[in-house]
Each structure stands twice: as C-alpha cells, then as structure tokens.
C-alpha cells in the first residue's frame, strides 16, 4: 500500500466557502450526489451556517456543528437553533441518525482526520452518504497558505508548484497549517474510516477572493478567469486540476441477521 508523508500537528482553523458563486456551485454538486429533499443533513464544520440555511431551503432538515464559537456568533437568525458548538472528533449526536453528512473544506483542518471520519461514519444511517470537499494537491498552488520557517513570513498564494514538491522536502523550509491531499490519498483516508467511495469529482475556483489573500489583479480579471475555469471544469483530464476534489462515499447497509 502506498504511504504518504505526514503533515504533523494540524491546528483547527479555516476560512469559509460561502461566497455567492461558490456556494451555488457546491450546492449543485451536493444535490447531484445526494438529493436533499426530505433528508436529515449534518454540515460538519458549518461556519456561520450558510450551507445549513441553503440546504434547508432545498427541502432538507439540516443542522450544523462548528468548533469556532466566533463563527457561530455571526450566524443568521434563519439558522437559529440549528447550529451548535462541537468537535468532529467527538460528535454529540446519536448513532445511525443522519442521512447525509457534509465536510466542506474541513477535514484538512481537523487534528485527527481518521477519528473525525469514524465519528461521521457512526452518526450516519446505514446507506447514508458522505460528501467531502477538500484541497486537491493536483492544483498547482497552495491555497491554504503556509509560512516560511526561516523568516516566519506567510508564503504567497501565487507561488506556483508548491504542492508538487514532495512533502518531506518542502517541510524543510515551509510550515503548513492544513493538509493538502492527492486524490488517491483522500480516497484511502475515507476508505480506512469504513466508507465505500462511490464517486470522485472536482471543483474549480470562482475567483471571489475566498482566501482574503487574492492578488488585486486576479480580482480585476475575475470574470474572464471564471469563464475559463467553468470551461476547464468540464474537460476530461484537465478538470482533475481543480482547486478542490470531491469524494462521495456511503456507509454500508445493515446486514440482516
């Protein structure tokens, strides 16, 4: 079995992907693989609850858990009572009770990814669906950023090809605060937590400045970049270079005794 270098300690952190175009794009992907109407959905790492609200509007009964109290404090009243502070490594929800679980750019920030996935596996019903959006190491930029060890300065997001450098080598000079997965690596992590991977997909950028470190020139030409990205997202092979990968997996149905 192929092994991967470790990122070492991971601190809980992360931004949000709920900018208008990106939110709409990811909701289309979610709906494509897990029809939401009538489903009990848990957003694991829900931020301020924008996805919880949107999935509720699409007919789901949705809830969210979030580690950051600060993010929950900014949530809209429309999700009042549907969000709670929680740790994905120990989810305070009964087993076999959720139809769909979403981890949207969250798994790479959890200190123990395997423990978190096993907790999600526990709360899903047999036959339930897991959707993971997570960084795609085939994308040639390190979107979560990192810090140079010798200076402590933040590494620019636009520095190319950093994800392609072997991790053991790049860690000699760079500290990473989030994981970045090769597609095969993420499938393996999900499989080892007890899931069966059924689909993989890729999502390209919307150039809305999600990281808050987007260069100004990118913002100026973002409409053109969006059109190009939407085209590349549909092309074989090239689509696999998208900024995020999507893993769709299921929990096995209960076997009759």
How far apart CA 27 and CA 135 sit, in angstroms, is 17
Q: Which phi and psi angles does 238 have, rounded to 5°?
A: -60, -30
> How far is residue 202 from each of residues 5, 21, 172, 206, 211, measured CA to CA in Å?
23, 16, 30, 13, 19
List, for residues 60-83, the tens digit of each pLDDT value.
Answer: 999 999 999 999 998 888 898 999
pLDDT over 90 at 106, yes or no: yes
- Which of the listed CATH numbers 3.40.50.150, 3.30.70.100, 3.30.390.50, 3.40.50.300 matches domain 20-145+179-250? 3.40.50.150
Cβ neighbours of residue 16 under 8 Å, at least 6 residues apart? 47, 48, 50, 71, 210
Per cent of the chain over pLDDT 70 is 95
Q: 129 with 34: CB under 8 angstroms?
A: yes
Q: Which two tokens stand for residue 2?
A: 């192929």
List, for residues 153-168, the tens digit of each pLDDT value.
Answer: 998 888 999 999 999 9
pLDDT over 90 at 118, yes or no: yes
- Would you state the pLDDT for residue 28? 97
List, for residues 189-204, the tens digit of each pLDDT value.
Answer: 999 999 999 999 999 9
Q: 30 with 127: CB under 8 angstroms?
A: no
- Would you state the pLDDT for residue 87? 94
List, for residues 31-64, the tens digit of each pLDDT value.
Answer: 999 999 999 999 999 999 999 999 999 999 999 9
CA dihedral 198, 202, 208, 212 (to 10 degrees): 80
List, for residues 214-228, the tens digit of each pLDDT value.
Answer: 778 888 899 999 999
- Would you state the pLDDT for residue 255? 58
- Would you state the pLDDT for residue 173? 94
Query: Please, which pLDDT band fits residue 1 given cuts at 50, 70 and 90?
Result: very low
pLDDT over 80 at 12, yes or no: no
Mean pLDDT of 21-34: 96
- The chain-wide mean pLDDT, for the chain, equals 92
């Amino acid at each position: 079995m192929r092994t991967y270098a470790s990122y070492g300690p991971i601190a809980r952190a992360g931004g949000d992907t709920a900018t208008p175009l990106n939110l709409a794009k990811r909701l289309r992907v979610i709906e494509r693989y897990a029809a939401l109407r009538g489903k009990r959905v848990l957003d694991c790492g829900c931020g301020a609850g924008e996805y919880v609200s949107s999935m509720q509007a699409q007919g789901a009964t949705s809830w969210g858990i979030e580690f950051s109290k600060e993010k929950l404090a900014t949530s809209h009243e429309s999700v009042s009572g549907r969000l709670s502070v929680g740790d994905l490594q120990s989810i305070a929800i009964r087993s076999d009770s959720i139809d769909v679980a979403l981890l949207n750019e969250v798994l790479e920030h959890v200190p123990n990814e395997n423990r978190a996935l096993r907790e999600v596996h526990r709360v899903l019903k047999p036959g339930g669906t897991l959707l993971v959006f997570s960084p795609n190491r085939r994308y040639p930029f390190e979107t979560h950023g990192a810090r140079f060890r010798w200076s402590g300065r933040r590494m620019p997001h636009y520095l190319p090809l950093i994800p392609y450098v072997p991790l053991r080598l790049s860690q000699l000079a760079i500290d990473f605060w989030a994981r970045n997965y090769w597609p095969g690596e993420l499938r393996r992590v999900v499989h080892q937590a007890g899931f069966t991977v059924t689909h993989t997909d890729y999502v390209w950028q919307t150039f809305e400045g999600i990281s808050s470190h987007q260069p100004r020139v990118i913002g100026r030409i973002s409409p053109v970049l969006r059109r190009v990205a939407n085209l590349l997202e549909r092309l074989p092979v090239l689509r696999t270079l998208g900024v995020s990968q999507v893993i769709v997996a299921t929990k096995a149905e209960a076997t009759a005794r």
